[in-house]
Amino acid sequence: MSKIFAYFFIAAFSCLQIGVTNAAEFPDKSIRIVVPFPAGGAADTLTRVIGVKLSSILGQAVVVQNMPGAGTIIGTSNVAKSAPDGYSLLIIANSFLINAKLQKELPYDGLNALTPVAMLVNSPQVIAVNATSPYKNFAELLNKSKESGSGMSYSTVGPNTSQNIAGELLKNRTGLAAVYVPFAGGALAGNAVAGGHVTMVLTNWNEITANVQSGKLRPLAVTTKQRIDPLKDTPTLIELGYPEVDVDVWFGAAAPRGTPPAVLDKLSESLKAALADPEVQKQLVAAGFTPDYQDRQVFTQKIKTQYEFLSKLIDEMGMKAE
């Protein structure tokens, strides 16, 4: 096992910590959940839906705090440096792993800075174009992009995010010729395409739902293994013959390294109960998420596997920190 994962598993399961918190008394004050993404985006929507139910379960207020910036590094650093007592949580996604791989001078200790609490949801990615564009399907878009001087571009959140990697992987595996245009959030990336400033967007479904439903964007494909219910007529890239373009986008919760295991377990079980609530599930599915709770042990293993997968892709495509 590599040194980075030796430390990571120690952080995940170690019982050694300073100032042990009595889990029977936890929590006795409000809990803060930091979202290192802009307000109104996928992670923000997820956290606010779950936060209401989590507050009811734990009997304390749950405060959602948006801290976007620097590719999620600002919010991540804030939580990593918080007291390891269970009162500060972070919503993490693939970007947490990507930064650990690409960024050589992080203001926190990479993967070792946080302990996984629970996997929460998967978020389908959608490729869409302006509804007035001539591209009725992905094949037409792809073929046109290969023509000299097509001037195509694609937008997504980034750089160095899972969506950015998915976009570059799409180009690598299909031959799509398009210039990457980064945005601070997926909703902004979708708006740029709806406004006719960028050719196509690749982002979380819930960040372009309004633009699709209002007829401003036309979905061409989804990156999931199966079609998603809100877009039953939109094919998967696998159906279109590109099985290798499969970048799993997920969201989970993590706590500062050193948080007591009993507190982590209580938080994880509480999140499980929140996700199991029928109303919460209804709201998350309507927002384009697939609830997928995993306890902290399973989530830790997922992070290890995902880090290895993303590292291989990053090395293969020669991506560098920006």
The CATH number covering residue 218 comes to 3.40.190.10
Q: Are 93 and 43 in contact (CB under 8 A)?
A: yes
In the 8-state DSSP scheme, what is residue 236? B
- Which residues make Cβ contacts (< 8 Å) with residue 40, sequence separation at least 6? 185, 187
pLDDT in the model for residue 288:
82
Q: Would residue 239 count as lying in a domain? A: no
pLDDT in the model for residue 21:
46
Q: Would residue 242 count as lying in a domain? A: no
- Same domain? 115 vs 11: yes
Cα–Cα distance measured from residue 317 to residue 112, given in angstroms and rounded to the nearest whole number:
25
Residues in the chain: 322
Which neighbouring-strand residues pair with 93?
251
Q: Are 222 and 127 in contact (CB under 8 A)?
A: yes
Cα–Cα distance measured from residue 134 to residue 179, given in angstroms and rounded to the nearest whole number:
19
CA angle 263–265–266, rounded 5-degree value: 65
Cα–Cα distance measured from residue 70 to residue 261, given in angstroms and rounded to the nearest whole number:
30
Confidence of residue 7 (pLDDT cuts 50, 70, 90): low
- Same domain? 132 vs 116: no
pLDDT in the model for residue 313:
87
Q: Would residue 92 count as lying in a domain? A: yes
Q: Would you say residue 319 has pLDDT above 90?
A: no
Q: Are 234 and 227 in contact (CB under 8 A)?
A: yes
pLDDT in the model for residue 295:
97
- Same domain? 90 vs 153: no
pLDDT (tens digit, 9 = 90+) per residue, 237-262?
999 999 888 777 899 999 999 999 99
- Same domain? 18 vs 72: yes
What CATH number should be reported for the domain holding residue 22? Answer: 3.40.190.150
Cα–Cα distance measured from residue 93 to residue 119, given in angstroms and rounded to the nearest whole number:
10
Q: Are 176 and 140 in contact (CB under 8 A)?
A: no
- Same domain? 276 vs 253: yes
- Same domain? 86 vs 187: no
Q: Would residue 243 count as lying in a domain? A: no
Provide the pairing of β-strand 200-204 with 125-130. antiparallel
Mean pLDDT of the chain: 90
CA angle 268–270–273, rounded 5-degree value: 110
- Same domain? 9 vs 27: yes
pLDDT in the model for residue 19:
41
Q: Are 163 and 208 in contact (CB under 8 A)?
A: no
- Same domain? 7 vs 46: yes
pLDDT (tens digit, 9 = 90+) per residue, 187-214?
899 999 999 999 999 998 988 999 999 9
The domain in which residue 219 lies consists of 125-231
Cα–Cα distance measured from residue 311 to residue 190, given in angstroms and rounded to the nearest whole number:
27
**Which of 201, 231, 261 is the C-terminal boundary of a domain?**
231
- Same domain? 111 vs 10: yes
Q: Would residue 241 count as lying in a domain? A: no
| Residue 122 CA from chain centroid, whole number | 8
What pTM was computed for the model?
Answer: 0.82
Structure token pair of residue 205: 């479904």
Helix then strand then coil, % of the chain, to nearest 5: 45, 20, 35
304 to each of 7, 89, 107, 134, 298, how far by Cα in Å? 12, 20, 21, 42, 10
pLDDT in the model for residue 201:
98
pLDDT (tens digit, 9 = 90+) per residue, 133-187?
999 999 999 999 999 778 899 999 878 788 888 899 999 999 999 999 999 888 8
- Same domain? 199 vs 209: yes
Q: Would residue 190 count as lying in a domain? A: yes
Please give the share of the chain, as a percent, with pLDDT higher than 70.
92
Strands (E), the chain: 31-35, 62-66, 88-93, 114-122, 125-130, 153-157, 179-183, 200-204, 217-222, 250-256, 290-294
Which neighbouring-strand residues pair with 157?
183
pLDDT in the model for residue 158:
78
pLDDT in the model for residue 246:
74
Q: Would residue 50 count as lying in a domain? A: yes
- Same domain? 159 vs 303: no
Q: Would you say residue 1 has pLDDT above 60?
A: no
Instruction: Count how many domains the chain has.
Output: 2
Angle between the N-to-C axes of helices 278-286 and 261-276, in degrees from 0 to 180, rounded to the nearest 10: 70
Confidence of residue 20 (pLDDT cuts 50, 70, 90): very low
Q: Are 212 and 52 in contact (CB under 8 A)?
A: no
pLDDT in the model for residue 18:
40
pLDDT (tens digit, 9 = 90+) per residue, 271-317?
999 999 999 999 998 888 889 999 999 999 999 999 998 999 899 88
| SS3 of residue 308 by DSSP | helix
- Same domain? 119 vs 255: yes
- Which residues make Cβ contacts (< 8 Å) with residue 307, sequence separation at least 6? 5, 97, 100, 101, 111
Rounded mean pLDDT, 85-110: 95
Q: Would residue 173 count as lying in a domain? A: yes
pLDDT in the model for residue 71:
82
pLDDT in the model for residue 15:
43
